[in-house]
Chain A
Amino acid sequence: MRNFSTIAKRAFRTISGKWKGYALLLLVVAAITLTLYIFFFWLDASARLATQARTSTEACILLQSNDRQQIGSLPQAMREHPAVKGSDTTTLLTASPVNFVNAVSRQDSPFDLPGESDQVLVSAHTDIAMSDAFRTGNASLVEGAFPTGSDPQVVIEDVLAKRNGLQIGDSISMSLSLPGYTEPHQLNLRVCGIYHLQQPIEATYYTSDGTPVYGASPYSSVFVPFDTLAVRFPDALSQDSVCFYLTDFTAISSVLEQFRQLNPDPARYTLSDFTDYRYEQLLQASQAVGRLILAAVWIFIGMELLILFFAILSILRSYYKDAGILIALGERRRCVAAQFLFQILVVGVVAVSVTLVGAFLLTPLLATLASGQIVHTAAETLPGNAVEIGAIENMARLLEEHGGNFAMLYASIAVLSVLVLLGLSSFFLFSHTPTRRLFDKE
């Protein structure tokens, strides 16, 4: 312990006495730390982006069939495929039959209000909570709960509830104009939940003349359990759909292949696949930006390592004479080497700490710059594909929250390891005699 305090005191005397050399070392180490920080930041960012791209690209395969048995058995069979999102039953059910039914109200219906739409869109799901609107967070339940009981229940939009003075527990009746039925059919439902919608739901809806349109629905959506419709109006649901969301959009072809193997007769079903390329587009752009960043990082690292080499060499040369004097004074060689290691580490730790504080403050800027640059590149290199704001915001947040911590940890470990290795190599160096130069040549 006494040895350590003596070495530490002497080390601090040396650092303050030869501050110019150590200041250079501090600057170089700080520069290397910062470069490595940017390097690791980007490494982490691109890895996360790639993962995001693979898992968040909205790839799905829609199977439409009039064979109820086939629709019922396929989810179970497809559960085995690794790319089918969530092989557990709950998740699979979210991708189970989905039907949009055009519901037209009559003059006496509760929705027939002056100046308001006389239509609602009835969306039937086996698990409403996992339907697109709720799963993506576009819709959120603000009151009540999702249907659980056996009686016919419905979840309605808050705007609709307010306009019609509806509350949880109220009963409503709707006249549904259903395919396969010539007359509108009455459906009585109990309001069990009220939700709030951020953006209009995109769906296929029918105009007043019966033309199907896909897009942002002008009508308020109500959500009912699939069975409510299936039991009451079996003929209306002449064609069921199974929608599989994929964990990996690149696996579409293999999933389709499995479908075909399970259903050898293509006449009995319609199979279609949809992919939203937002994240893939961002991923490609990020790879382009990443190539530039990494090239710059390698150049900087190369230059900085060269300067570090000369800085250490200069410190070592000047310390070599000190080491000779210390050994002539009776100091142990391992203590001489330890002092050198201590000096380098003190400067290194200070440099790394100061840089990381700076890096911490720099992280939001770096995240914004990176995501901004990626969007810019995406817009230039992939014309015609709009990059959605939500995806970019999500990426910037992702970079800021995770990339910074990861980069700080790895940059500091890398820099301090190099310094420790350099310092430890001095134990070998000072085990040789640096004392002969103390004497003047005769």
Chain B
Amino acid sequence: MLSMQKVSFRYGKNTDYVLSGVDADFVPGKFYTVFGPSGSGKTTCLSLLGGLDTPTAGEVLLDGISLRQIGGEELRRKHVSYIFQNYMLFPYMSAVQNVVTAIEISGKGGREAKQEAEKVLLSLGIEEKDMYRKVRKLSGGQQQRVAIARSVATGSRYILADEPTGNLDKKNAQMIIDIFLRLVREQEKCLVVVTHSQQVRDASDIRYELTDGQLSLWGEAAEYAEF
């Protein structure tokens, strides 16, 4: 379980707190969405959960162990991976090379990494003829699927996504949502998606709303929690 315990964060000593005393748990097998107004700190949440930033106060824990102990790099190599709105792929590499790069960083390499990359890409609907094309020549939907493949191929349990459907049309967005649901249901992944999209929000299991630096459960989940 990935947890935030009384997490507060600000970007500089003389700046306002973006998050103040946030508590939240993210468990494998669930699809979470975090939404809120622009500038509310949604992305900061993702950054803290993946160890890219360190809380000013409070702790982020993985299975009860502080990320300060685990280390951000170790966390991202083995447990957490990111998906970005602008895909953040290496545009000059092929789809396979992009995925292999991530697998190599996680510790595997050679032919095994390549086979794994091809397998994952195929499972996400990237055809063989597209696997070895430079990713900049692929469509937005294909590029986002390559990005998902990159995060899945490393074997991370937690996938953190920042507006993953932000640049996609409704059809492609639905395709990505279906993939997310498959990952959660079939592979027990924990998916935390920061989004403005109603479509994504509706598909998620648990929704958090972030306002005034506070993260709170929203909708049925909130009612259930209150109950």
Contact = CB atoms under 8 A, between A and B. Distances in A.
Given A10-B104, A18-B92, A435 B42 contact: no
A311 to B, nearest CB: 18
Nearest to A435: B52
B92 A14 contact: yes
Interface of A: 2, 5-6, 9-10, 13-14, 16-18, 321-322, 324-333, 433, 435-436, 438-440, 442
Contacts of A17: 90-93, 134
Contact of A438 (B42, B82, B93, B109): B82
Interface residues of B, number: 40
Nearest to A318: B92
B163 interface: yes
A321 B154 CA distance: 21
Interface of B: 38-40, 42-43, 46-47, 50, 52-53, 73-78, 81-82, 84-86, 88-93, 97, 101-102, 104-106, 109, 134, 150, 154, 162-163, 166
Chain A at the B interface: mostly helix, strand, loop or mixed? Answer: helix
Contacts of A324: 88
Contact of B105 (A14, A321, A329, A440): A329
Contact of A442 (B38, B75, B82): B38
Contacts of B42: 442
A49 B76 CA distance: 63
Nearest to A332: B73
Nearest to A333: B73
Given A6-B104, A325-B90, A439 B76 contact: no
A327 B47 CA distance: 12
Contacts of B76: 327-330
Contacts of A436: 47, 52
Contact of B86 (A333, A435, A440): A440
A13 B97 contact: yes
25 contacts: A2-B109, A9-B104, A10-B104, A13-B90, A14-B92, A17-B90, A324-B88, A325-B90, A326-B105, A327-B73, A328-B50, A328-B52, A328-B82, A329-B82, A329-B102, A329-B105, A329-B106, A333-B73, A433-B52, A438-B82, A439-B43, A439-B47, A440-B43, A442-B38, A442-B43
The 9 closest A-B CB pairs, nearest first, are A17-B92, A330-B77, A330-B76, A442-B38, A439-B43, A440-B85, A435-B52, A6-B104, A331-B105
A332 B46 CA distance: 19
Contacts of A18: 92
Contacts of A326: 101, 105
Nearest to A19: B92
B187 to A, nearest CB: 19
A105 to B, nearest CB: 92
Nearest to B156: A330
A438 B73 contact: no
A32 B86 CA distance: 38
A6 B93 contact: no
